[in-house]
Structure 1
């Protein structure tokens, strides 16, 4: 037999770790993964692959690793299933009869749930010899009546020379995600909005949680809406233009302090320093400028709120604690609530606050923001030096923990208000795919990330060169070794604030497009993730939080991914613009899957008014994003055809407003009547959830984000032309809500809003 070639060894290792040998793009075009890409991604994952000898050694180590440890780091089973886990022991021939495996199952508090033993006279399920030593794999039957949750499965071997002890994380998950009982027989609707875009006479230049409360109460009580969709509320650096995208956040575990309403904090008003600074002519003039501006001035708002939060925090310490740093002792119920929050959040919040404190200090020293990769060596990782720094600066660390506590309490209050106001779901939050590589989350979880690769998307008609999102992807090997701890924490922190959640680019549960660092997106390929494990964790966290899960499944989506998502009751995300047949005709309302959320458009696409007028085409042409006049004309002609398809679909459903025909020339501009007709079309679909974008109802022209631009276009900054106070009397919002409400009748009295998951089948 001939020796394997270096190319075949490279392919073998790549296959083992999940790097795709090839893929098909959205158009069905075949792309082979080059050896150069395989080698670059394997190196990024930590493998030595520069020679055939190194590849042989890497493959050997990979294949032998499961045999050289007593048990795997994590095992996931479905509740009620009869299952087992494997243990691997180095045993001489025949010694199985002398071995007894004692096991103990403990819950998350450490309390013992079960114990048992396997053996003596164990049966070898498999035997392998490594370096002349005999290894035996044996199986332990798991209890089939353990409730869903996270457990530690500890094993002690009796009868072996070294009597090894080991443990693993055992995750018991439900088969499917939670779906509210209210959706068993009723479809519901709501509004989607960008929280920062809300304007009011009282906020400090961008929407805040008090504005959101007013919108929620208005939408529930006056319009009959049952959910409010939000942009990701993750922590941002809040500096324009590079650190304002909610989809490239500073940290997804925590909230953006820009949304805090300072005037709801008792310590803000009891602080003499805060009151004095707030009352100055200069500060009030600045607030007026920030409120009156049609754009969100992130830098100025962040500076104003951080200054006032600092005053409030100092007063909070004065009123609620005694002792000096670091021996602060809580003295009041309010202080004890903060301490309980800090204790519950544990290490992640501690590390986040340490990062914030370190970054603040480095900025003061160097008079500019610095990347953590350039910090002094001892602080470039969340190790002992960083933790010791946190202990020395306990008071300042607690300041950043205090900010998160305040934000968390205000957002939780909004969800409580939504449910009390009669909403079936309430807040529908959004979890971004990744975080910026220079932010706090990437510092905290750097050992779980691939730093020499970016994630993105392969070439398609929307982006012929592919897309590079500039974020470091998760390392699937490191995630599994950790028992999926970062993913669990990320889901848990984001599921606690609402009744539903949108997982951005949900296909990443199965595979993600990796691009070698500093290479073109076209040189990337897909890397596979432990799909079934991650689906199980999503289902478990969804069930615990009683949150509906929607997966943003736009783009290149393999059939098997959608099948498994549906099986897990993760709702599909359907955009009217994209729901077409091959000839361009819109799918009929009955063709939308029941288990889905339907919208007309998204933050990355033109608004209805912008789409109809071609505003996005004009903007792209003005930015030289369209190469020549022929391309501009082609784009305009395609838009006219798309508009015609929409009008034809409305005509087929007898929804065309009076005076309009299927000819786009009969409808030169978007009108409230046409907007209502398109949403009524959505409301007639089989989708159980329908969202109307606030900017569509308000006839906003410009889209929220123009993908592929940063400095050239003011993304993520626009405010709505109508203030929160003006919503109630706006006939466009009232009439659109009436249309949706009549098409999606919901009788809350027939259901208990606190009921458990329903019996909806995919």
Structure 2
């Protein structure tokens, strides 16, 4: 019997006054101390700076773990597991055991750090090289003897994480030893409960402990970041992101095979934007097996993320109601909807959020049954409103005053270019170069210009911009425009603070475009450091436009 609250309550500060915050792809926001990739310490630095500007939250991309060996999947939305975090985000220098290393060991770690910091100068992010350097350094720290106090803390962490951590760490250890995919392992090792797997766990005990230790460290660093942000004055703090599913070759697919439909992949049916439909390459939960296990894998996943944050964004929250199942070997057009017990899934989500004192934001964009949004609102879950998608009669922009109150409103999302790029047609140019436009370039640009001009015209009629407004002035005005909405939360994309124009992810592509590999950059497409953001006059002007909401 699982008893769930009727509603998820908003924090008092958000109930009494609308809040704004930052939205970022953390890996892309690097400081001078980063090892080629933005990390938990960078999150704390960015968030503390944001708190001083009046921000109440920082929404980050999914922190879920990727492969422990090259090649690491660049998309944070296709992880190996949704329960455990990516140790790539550890700041090595902030692991307490660093203080007990010998001079020679310190020197070795500094060499690894020097190599990794050189990656900050690359045009594209290099996760594999960053993780290679970081992993080598962390293995040195791991071998250092821990104090009794720290050792007890690690043991208690492992005990709380239970069998899930044992399975994840075992999978990582075998991957390091035997490689991927795990479907190529001996048949007995493909079963996490087999005697052979238990023997392999014993043989690789030190490696299993290392990957358990990495989880202890990375989760502690994210918990520290959350404490720092709330101490700095944020009413919410970190908002983590929950991906729709996992990689079919990942640790969850191995350890949770009894509750995942291994012969099926999740996707989307054909629509006006993609006549062939979509296949996201993710095995879905089996609703019958989830119920048989009292939703334990789902609850464990939610608890891990919620104990590290003040909120959770659920990507494609419609997946708690129904998912488009595609049998292996079939096209997306041959799939079918399979419904879930949404009262159980949403109720458990509400319960875990209530226990953690956290907010829940559902990404409910796209085709959604009307009653679903009503149901989510009744349960106290926030929706998502993106300015460019908010239209009446399918064309004219909706006035922000008519937006939902219980939502996170923003100008853009990670599947669109930053606002400066969108205003200049970056999304059209990229799709044309990749051959993804369904119509001619001229027709697409004309329609896009018509829709953008409808919004800009409303800005001019309200006196927010003049006839000759620059791109920066238009960006600031669009965010000021959103402050007229009743939305409880307003999200400011970090790329918009510095005039970045490049799309972080281009739907419909894989290697044709550097998806999830682009660092934060300025209007001239030159990489920027976090330190540049915090002294940017452009950023401060945009923050003034948003801060006027209070």
Q: After TM superposition, give the deviation of residue 728 of structure 1 in Å.
A: 2.4
Q: Tell me, in whole angstroms, the C-alpha distance in 2 between the residues paired with 1:583 and 1:339.
A: 56
SS class of match (1:603):
coil
Q: After TM superposition, give the deviation of residue 421 of structure 1 in Å.
A: 0.6
1:167-566 equivalences under 5 Å are 170-221=1-52, 223-237=53-67, 243-272=73-102, 274-280=105-111, 283=112, 286-315=115-144, 319-320=145-146, 332-363=148-179, 370-385=180-195, 386-566=197-377
Q: After TM superposition, give the deviation of residue 559 of structure 1 in Å.
A: 1.1
Q: Residue 529 of structure 2 is aligned with which of 723, 746, 756?
A: 723
Q: After TM superposition, give the deviation of residue 284 of structure 1 in Å.
A: 5.7
Select the structure that is richer in strand: 1
Q: After TM superposition, give the deviation of residue 450 of structure 1 in Å.
A: 0.9
Deviates more, 1:336-345 or 1:230-239: 230-239
Deviation per CA, 1:533-554, whole angstroms, max 9, x where unpaired? 1121111111001110011001
Q: Tell me, in whole angstroms, the C-alpha distance in 2 between the residues paired with 1:477 and 1:203.
A: 44
Q: After TM superposition, give the deviation of residue 333 of structure 1 in Å.
A: 0.6
Q: After TM superposition, give the deviation of residue 238 of structure 1 in Å.
A: 7.0
Deviation per CA, 1:298-350, whole angstroms, max 9, x where unpaired? 110011111111111011xxx23xxxxxxxxxx61111110110011111011
SS class of match (2:279):
strand
Alignment root-mean-square deviation, CA: 1.7
- Structure 1 residues 196 and 375: alpha-carbon distance in aligned structure 2, compared to 1, 3 A threshold: same
* TM-score between the two structures when normalised by the length of structure 1: 0.69
Q: Tell me, in whole angstroms, the C-alpha distance in 2 between the residues paired with 1:470 and 1:344.
A: 31
Partner of 2:405: 594
Checking the alignment, whether the CA contact within 8 Å between 2:116 and 2:129 is kept in structure 1 is no
- Structure 1 residues 416 and 610: alpha-carbon distance in aligned structure 2, compared to 1, 3 A threshold: same
Q: Tell me, in whole angstroms, the C-alpha distance in 2 between the residues paired with 1:256 and 1:409.
A: 12
Q: Tell me, in whole angstroms, the C-alpha distance in 2 between the residues paired with 1:279 and 1:480.
A: 50
Partner of 1:34: none
Select the structure that is richer in helix: 2
Q: Residue 440 of structure 2 is aligned with which of 628, 631, 635?
A: 631
State which structure, 1 or 2, has the greater radius of gyration over its C-alpha atoms. Answer: 1
Checking the alignment, whether the CA contact within 8 Å between 1:177 and 1:538 is kept in structure 2 is no
Q: Tell me, in whole angstroms, the C-alpha distance in 2 between the residues paired with 1:505 and 1:711.
A: 24
Deviation per CA, 1:95-117, whole angstroms, max 9, x where unpaired? xxxxxxxxxxxxxxxxxxxxxxx
1:20-59 equivalences under 5 Å are none
Higher relative contact order (CA 8 A, sep 6+): 2
Q: Residue 645 of structure 1 is aligned with which of 420, 443, 454?
A: 454
Checking the alignment, whether the CA contact within 8 Å between 2:30 and 2:39 is kept in structure 1 is no
Q: Tell me, in whole angstroms, the C-alpha distance in 2 between the residues paired with 1:674 and 1:358.
A: 52
- Structure 1 residues 546 and 387: alpha-carbon distance in aligned structure 2, compared to 1, 3 A threshold: farther
Q: Tell me, in whole angstroms, the C-alpha distance in 2 between the residues paired with 1:538 and 1:591.
A: 28
* TM-score between the two structures when normalised by the length of structure 2: 0.95
Checking the alignment, whether the CA contact within 8 Å between 1:506 and 1:551 is kept in structure 2 is yes
Checking the alignment, whether the CA contact within 8 Å between 2:31 and 2:38 is kept in structure 1 is yes
Q: After TM superposition, give the deviation of residue 702 of structure 1 in Å.
A: 0.7
Deviation per CA, 1:123-160, whole angstroms, max 9, x where unpaired? xxxxxxxxxxxxxxxxxxxxxxxxxxxxxxxxxxxxxx
Q: After TM superposition, give the deviation of residue 285 of structure 1 in Å.
A: 5.2
Q: After TM superposition, give the deviation of residue 733 of structure 1 in Å.
A: 1.0
Deviation per CA, 1:465-503, whole angstroms, max 9, x where unpaired? 111101011111111111111111111111111111100
Q: Tell me, in whole angstroms, the C-alpha distance in 1 between the residues paired with 2:534 and 2:178.
A: 47
Checking the alignment, whether the CA contact within 8 Å between 1:610 and 1:700 is kept in structure 2 is yes
Q: Tell me, in whole angstroms, the C-alpha distance in 1 between the residues paired with 2:340 and 2:39.
A: 37
Q: Tell me, in whole angstroms, the C-alpha distance in 2 between the residues paired with 1:224 and 1:246.
A: 28
Deviation per CA, 1:584-610, whole angstroms, max 9, x where unpaired? 111112210100110111111122122
Q: After TM superposition, give the deviation of residue 441 of structure 1 in Å.
A: 1.2
1:685-704 equivalences under 5 Å are 685-704=485-504
SS class of match (1:234):
coil
Checking the alignment, whether the CA contact within 8 Å between 2:34 and 2:117 is kept in structure 1 is no
How many matched pairs?
542
Deviates more, 1:606-615 or 1:502-511: 606-615
- Structure 1 residues 362 and 582: alpha-carbon distance in aligned structure 2, compared to 1, 3 A threshold: same
SS class of match (2:252):
helix
Q: Tell me, in whole angstroms, the C-alpha distance in 1 between the residues paired with 2:116 and 2:354.
A: 43
Q: Tell me, in whole angstroms, the C-alpha distance in 1 between the residues paired with 2:70 and 2:458.
A: 41
